[in-house]
Chains A and B, each alone.
Chain A
């Protein structure tokens, strides 16, 4: 017997730290495959099954299987007893509704099949927030979450509604008659009808108070606007008109004040003379910062001073303004001065002083009515931190009778303030309205199981004049009630909330509004405030819904100078604020937001657009700081990413073992940590994923009181990107606006030069040197897709849309770590490097050193996003290597994949230069080992599957089909109607999810099609053109508007 040597994986294993032990235990805890079993000699020897037995079993099971297969299947087919008129099996119906979870708002369309909602689509009729973000696209899966509450709870036990109603009414009466406070704590409420109902409740309940609190609060911002305009609401921003955008820490493309501005922003990012110029000052690398033309690193504590400097540069005079980026601010000021009223300055903190200066700057620019609309107020953020603070104090004081919590999870959000949970225990009546058991529900006496938004009626007024309706698209799955119905029951109102809604709706034409999902109600907002005022005892409503009328002069007023005294006071406070040696900036990850949908596996597995890490949050650290503290990221031999851990102390509170990710572009002396993770009562998917940043939070989005101590052990990340730079290649072709406008695209040295090869015939392009016979692509359709890298901001909505449309499985963290993620569409992110061929030549650096240096991202990198799906090559490398012809070419320019023909050799994936083919390593459907794949592992979850797309079995390759089911459907519709197919009629899932219109799909044989025109654009290039694959997908060169 050979000697068994033991090799250590690292020094940690030798020292046998607790983390390593835990990791080692977890390594094979999923006993799934026979390979693992057979690979384990001991286990194999222990087994009593001999080879003969094995053959016996095999023979028997083969025979049994054959016999079983001969039996005719008895499949029941149960039609309706009385079929609803609008449901024709196999034909989807679309219903317009609205999504609002207290944080995200969008007007959406919901696709239903045979009565089951299966997909969210953008509502193109919406005047505001018609583009759903990744979270809203994924929200459909939450409807079918088997961990949803199916009944109301009393003290954690399932109960029936009549007991709940009786109990609550009794306790509530007791609280009122004892003269105690009754508080209704909610997220921001944007439904005027719900507000009216709450108002009526307030009128009939003594001691009633309605408190709104936002998870990631902009209360300070609201206060500043309240001081400047008398209305505690935010203006709406019009990025369409902005020539110059200067953002101070505002991640407006990711998560900001709720208004979705990405489409407007993108409309000015098309290269040309009127392309906008975007400067970003920030500490964390945000989605917005990565899209900026110029990005400057700054500490969060310096933002105020930078704004003061800008204010002074633009003609203001306030004290302070010294920062490390004064030159850059000066430059930005120059641009803003030139742009005047077409400039826009936005800031991102929850600090009233910062916002006061921002308001003052915008007033100096005179952009009211142009890039900022003060008359059209946005109501998406109304939370009041002071009221919340008061609430916590009141709860602890004991003068508290009842607490009702709706659409908010304060026990999780206030994890840093133990007083909340303590106070809640002192309240005699605690009621939580919740769809799922959450941290707050766990502390409540009564939990009222709430409808999902897809089962509820409602309306929303996200801003003045903008009104949208919410309608149920499925009958309630469980014995649940929507909040408003509960309130009406307790208030003793008769009728349903539907009746109440139709009576009180702001829609001028109910049926049309219901059909469109939205209605234009300009001038109606004033009515909202009137209703609220008359009933609101706490005097809260007039601060919100301040009302706007036709003769609004807000925008005129705002052009005048701001009261200098206010600005000076704010400036003096800001300039005297001290920074810390290390500062932390809290942020929201694109996939998770504030953690409302933490139990959504699609979102957990969505790689963060910047870090490309899924299933985690982490402390983002600048490379220089990492070296100083001794933190590092390393890759294992299989490409899995590991990171050091730290003990993080912020505001005197500590979280241990926070994983560290070295983030290029992170300002030195700052770290970032995403909120929304570390849920403890979210469900099997979301529990214990990451750490809860809210535990360190005290309302401010940043803190200067940070201590970082290196922890012991390492953390395993699920990061799907290994190479972070382009190594000097033209993967994302990028050019400056100046060059784009004035220099030739093609030819020697052109910015979109086509690679040529030296041949005996002279230099030839890859197209001219190919060895293959061409397919006939002149006949019939020829599908092509254009992806505009200038319009794509990396938001990831397309990735989720693809998940939902194509039944893409979720594989879980351990598998993603092994790069076995199944995304058909990924958004590659590239950092620029400080090294390039010119620099190397200048400094006399050799090729090997040069390429080594090129691998390192710059510490202030420029970032580019590139969505990559199957490129549908017309000379496809995958097709030629498949031994069973499972992947083949279509006459319409697509690369087909026949799953049932595939035998899983994976040659195709190995031969694919784009690495877009995904292999089903396991059976993800109906497999308890992959129970986090909610959409495929119980009957409830399966209801979300798209019935037109196969659920793939283990051992087959899959990839983007260009939504062939949609193409076929579009063609069929045209055939049935006997007319030619219209351009734009067929949209892929990613395209329809993209509200910036970065993705355009169509038939290039139709010379009038948009995609045909885009193919002729001089920005057009193919990814890895030199390989000669002739893809059907092409990209539009990214153009940056730098001076």
Chain B
């Protein structure tokens, strides 16, 4: 993992610098004033453009982060509203870009007004800026990794110094003894004498026994309590899927792929079909190139060369390895937590957006569940379901009481075990 992160870091640094240079030095030929509403632009971009364009990367269409530098505003408005007409009018630039992207047709957006397009273009300028910050964040992550390895070195050095000191002291002692004319002893002999004397002393022996027993039983207890607890479980998956790239860098909403989490008991592993929504157009990734994405294509039967599904292909489902294995005796419903409870995914799954490979972040023990139920407040204010109950609870626990899951019966056995 460390390796891959470093690998990504080295890859990202030049890219980052490039972006910075591009953004800073981008007052080129088409520098024009864009004073649209970037907020509106963002929502329009996300709903209309984002499936094919990104600001900083080429997808189906070109990256749009610097499009205002490359093209004039008038041209862009014409292109967005009806690119086919623009091409038909014989615009060379339009034809060229069409050729460059293998004749992928961009739909016309006659419903967008001129000011809408300007909003979007404003967003492409504004929205491109935070990319710099993001990459800065990535950089600090890399430093943390370095710091960790530094620690080990320091400890090793300290250990060596300590060993040296002991050796020195023994040497000093022997020199002193030799001076006094007493027989010298080696380090090993000293240790032997001390141990024997100590063991002959019943107090020390008892104390030692107790100590050893305590450590033994503590370790035994911990080992037994850890049976069936698979915290940090990180199995190898059939596809080296990176949540960091998807949920972190690209900030795809968890619910986009795991759509079941909002609606039902399970947070489903997405079908390969869901992957294809984007990967129809992205056949190459930053981590592993084409290799891993090709596995999705093998599952669904997609031919990236011809950009089409292979007819009559026998689809092969992807056999993911399940990480979070809650025992059957406990009932857990994702939608209860995600939708009704408004709990963020990260509360239980940890910093998923930073994980290259997912591991089990939480112990998933009953104590862990219960603890959260004791502390978590219920969304009583914003949900009409609780309206009547809230009044009753206020009467019971006081007007200002914070209503926790425990207070509405969230610790009762039957709420999870049936």
Q: Does A848 contact B (CB under 8 A)?
A: no
- Indicate which residue in B259, B334, B412 contacts A888 across the interface (CB closer than 8 Å): B412
Instruction: Report A-chain residues with C-beta under 8 Å of the C-beta of B316.
Output: 81
Q: Is the CB of A79 within 8 A of B228?
A: no
Query: Chain B 306-326 against A: per-residue CB contact (8 Å), 1 yes, 0 no?
Result: 000000000111111110010
Query: Chain A 775-807 against B: per-residue CB contact (8 Å), 1 yes, 0 no?
Result: 010111000000000000000000000000000
Rounded to whole angstroms, the CA-CA distance of A965 and B322 in the bound complex is: 25
Q: Is the CB of B321 within 8 A of A76?
A: yes
Q: Is the CB of B393 within 8 A of A975?
A: no
Instruction: Report A-chain residues with C-beta under 8 Å of the C-beta of B319.
Output: 76-78
Interface pick from B107-115, B335-343, B348-356: B335-343
Interface pick from B1-9, B61-69, B97-105, B266-274: B266-274
Q: Is the CB of A89 within 8 A of B415?
A: no
Q: Does A334 contact B (CB under 8 A)?
A: no
Rounded to whole angstroms, the CA-CA distance of A980 and B385 in the bound complex is: 4
Q: Does A82 contact B (CB under 8 A)?
A: yes
Q: Which residues 951-965 of A sit at the B interface, judged by CB distance below 8 A? A: 951, 961, 964-965
- Indicate which residue in A69, A73, A79, A974 contacts B325 across the interface (CB closer than 8 Å): A73
Q: Does A83 contact B (CB under 8 A)?
A: yes
Q: Does B417 contact A (CB under 8 A)?
A: yes
Instruction: Report A-chain residues with C-beta under 8 Å of the C-beta of B413.
Output: 886, 888, 890, 896-898, 901
Which residue of A has the minimal Cβ distance to B296? Answer: A81
Instruction: Report B-chain residues with C-beta under 8 Å of the C-beta of A888.
Output: 412-414
Instruction: Report B-chain residues with C-beta under 8 Å of the C-beta of A972.
Output: 333, 335-336, 340
A965 and B227 contact, Cβ closer than 8 Å, known pairs A79-B271, A89-B268: no
Rounded to whole angstroms, the CA-CA distance of A911 and B300 in the bound complex is: 59
Instruction: Report B-chain residues with C-beta under 8 Å of the C-beta of A980.
Output: 384-385, 387-388
Which residue of A has the minimal Cβ distance to B228? Answer: A69
Which of A69, A82, A964, A977: most chain B Cβ within 10 A? A82
Query: Chain A 48-76 against B: per-residue CB contact (8 Å), 1 yes, 0 no?
Result: 00000000000000000010011011111
Which residue of A has the minimal Cβ distance to B299? Answer: A81
Q: Is the CB of A88 within 8 A of B263?
A: yes
Q: Does B203 contact A (CB under 8 A)?
A: no
Q: Which residues 937-977 of A sit at the B interface, judged by CB distance below 8 A? A: 948-951, 961, 964-965, 968, 971-972, 974-977
Tally chain B residues at the interface, Cβ within 8 Å.
59
How near does chain A come to B220, taking the closest CB pair, in angstroms? 11
Rounded to whole angstroms, the CA-CA distance of A776 and B393 in the bound complex is: 11
Rounded to whole angstroms, the CA-CA distance of A898 and B413 in the bound complex is: 6
Q: Does A652 contact B (CB under 8 A)?
A: no
- Indicate which residue in A79, A780, A898 contacts B414 across the interface (CB closer than 8 Å): A898
Q: Does B190 contact A (CB under 8 A)?
A: no
Which of A66, A79, A88: most chain B Cβ within 10 A? A79
Tally chain A residues at the interface, Cβ within 8 Å.
53
Q: Does B171 contact A (CB under 8 A)?
A: no
How near does chain B come to A196, taking the closest CB pair, in angstroms? 36
Q: Does B176 contact A (CB under 8 A)?
A: no
Rounded to whole angstroms, the CA-CA distance of A978 and B383 in the bound complex is: 5
Q: Is the CB of B331 within 8 A of A965?
A: yes
Q: Is the CB of B417 within 8 A of A66?
A: no
Rounded to whole angstroms, the CA-CA distance of A225 and B389 in the bound complex is: 61
Q: Is the CB of A82 within 8 A of B273?
A: yes
Q: Does A891 contact B (CB under 8 A)?
A: yes
How near does chain B come to A791, taking the closest CB pair, in angstroms? 28
Instruction: Report A-chain residues with C-beta under 8 Å of the C-beta of B235.
Output: 72, 74
Q: Which residues 900-952 of A sit at the B interface, judged by CB distance below 8 A? A: 900-901, 948-951
Q: Does B409 contact A (CB under 8 A)?
A: yes
How near does chain A come to B322, taking the closest CB pair, in angstroms? 4
- Indicate which residue in A79, A901, A979 contacts B320 across the interface (CB closer than 8 Å): A79
A90 and B409 contact, Cβ closer than 8 Å, known pairs A79-B271, A81-B315, A965-B418: no
Q: Does A605 contact B (CB under 8 A)?
A: no
Query: Chain B 377-418 against A: per-residue CB contact (8 Å), 1 yes, 0 no?
Result: 000001111111100110010000000000011001111011
Q: Is the CB of A950 within 8 A of B328?
A: yes
Instruction: Report A-chain residues with C-beta under 8 Å of the C-beta of B417.
Output: 896, 898-901, 950
Q: Is the CB of B269 within 8 A of A79?
A: yes
How near does chain B come to A982, taking the closest CB pair, in angstroms? 11
Q: Is the CB of B273 within 8 A of A779?
A: no
A70 and B227 contact, Cβ closer than 8 Å, known pairs A76-B321, A88-B260, A896-B414: yes
Rounded to whole angstroms, the CA-CA distance of A561 and B340 in the bound complex is: 68
- Indicate which residue in B272, B320, B385 contacts A76 across the interface (CB closer than 8 Å): B320
Q: Is the CB of A77 within 8 A of B414?
A: no
Rounded to whole angstroms, the CA-CA distance of A629 and B266 in the bound complex is: 64
Rounded to whole angstroms, the CA-CA distance of A978 and B342 in the bound complex is: 12
Which residue of B has the minimal Cβ distance to A975? Answer: B340
Q: Is the CB of B385 within 8 A of A89?
A: no
A82 and B300 contact, Cβ closer than 8 Å, known pairs A88-B260, A888-B412: yes
Which residue of B has the minimal Cβ distance to A901? Answer: B413
- Indicate which residue in A89, A894, A900 contacts B265 across the interface (CB closer than 8 Å): A89
Q: Does B233 contact A (CB under 8 A)?
A: yes
How near does chain A come to B311, taking the closest CB pair, in angstroms? 15
Instruction: Report A-chain residues with C-beta under 8 Å of the C-beta of B263.
Output: 88, 90-91
Which residue of A has the minimal Cβ distance to B386? Answer: A975
Which residue of A has the minimal Cβ distance to B341? Answer: A975
Q: Does B264 contact A (CB under 8 A)?
A: yes
Q: Is the CB of A780 within 8 A of B389?
A: yes
Q: Does A981 contact B (CB under 8 A)?
A: yes
Q: Does B222 contact A (CB under 8 A)?
A: no
A950 and B227 contact, Cβ closer than 8 Å, known pairs A80-B317, A779-B396: no
Which residue of B has the minimal Cβ distance to A84? Answer: B271
Rounded to whole angstroms, the CA-CA distance of A896 and B386 in the bound complex is: 23
Q: Is the CB of B393 within 8 A of A81?
A: no
Instruction: Report A-chain residues with C-beta under 8 Å of the C-beta of B78.
Output: none
Instruction: Report A-chain residues with C-beta under 8 Å of the C-beta of B21.
Output: none
Q: Does A892 contact B (CB under 8 A)?
A: yes
Q: Which residues 246-275 of B sit at the A interface, judged by CB distance below 8 A? A: 259-260, 263-266, 268-274
Q: Is the CB of A975 within 8 A of B385?
A: yes
A974 and B385 contact, Cβ closer than 8 Å, known pairs A82-B271, A82-B300: yes
Which residue of B has the minimal Cβ distance to A964? Answer: B418
- Indicate which residue in A951, A976, A981 contacts B335 across the interface (CB closer than 8 Å): A976
Q: Does B95 contact A (CB under 8 A)?
A: no
Q: Is the CB of A892 within 8 A of B384?
A: no
Query: Chain A 88-124 against B: per-residue CB contact (8 Å), 1 yes, 0 no?
Result: 1111000000000000000000000000000000000
- Indicate which residue in B266, B322, B409 contacts A890 across the interface (CB closer than 8 Å): B409
How near does chain A come to B391, taking the closest CB pair, in angstroms? 10
Rounded to whole angstroms, the CA-CA distance of A710 and B413 in the bound complex is: 56
Q: Is the CB of A949 within 8 A of B412?
A: no
How near does chain B come to A896, taking the closest CB pair, in angstroms? 3
Instruction: Report B-chain residues with C-beta under 8 Å of the C-beta of A975.
Output: 336, 339-340, 383, 385-386
Which of B319, B334, B396, B417: most chain A Cβ within 10 A? B417
Q: Is the CB of A976 within 8 A of B339?
A: yes
A89 and B409 contact, Cβ closer than 8 Å, known pairs A83-B273, A980-B385, A980-B387: no
Q: Is the CB of A896 within 8 A of B412?
A: yes
How near does chain A come to B417, taking the closest CB pair, in angstroms? 5
Rounded to whole angstroms, the CA-CA distance of A408 and B88 in the bound complex is: 71
How near does chain A come to B328, taking the closest CB pair, in angstroms? 6
Known: A888-B413, A898-B414. 19 other contacts (CB 8 A): A75-B325, A79-B271, A81-B271, A82-B271, A88-B268, A90-B260, A91-B263, A778-B392, A888-B414, A894-B414, A896-B413, A948-B331, A950-B328, A950-B418, A951-B328, A964-B414, A968-B415, A975-B383, A980-B388
Q: List 30 A-B contacts (CB under 8 A).
A: A69-B227, A70-B227, A74-B321, A75-B325, A77-B320, A78-B320, A79-B318, A81-B272, A82-B273, A83-B268, A83-B271, A88-B268, A89-B266, A89-B268, A90-B263, A90-B266, A90-B333, A91-B265, A780-B393, A780-B408, A897-B414, A898-B417, A901-B417, A950-B417, A965-B418, A968-B331, A968-B333, A971-B385, A979-B384, A980-B384
Nearest 5 interchain pairs by C-beta: A90-B265, A896-B414, A90-B264, A82-B273, A83-B271
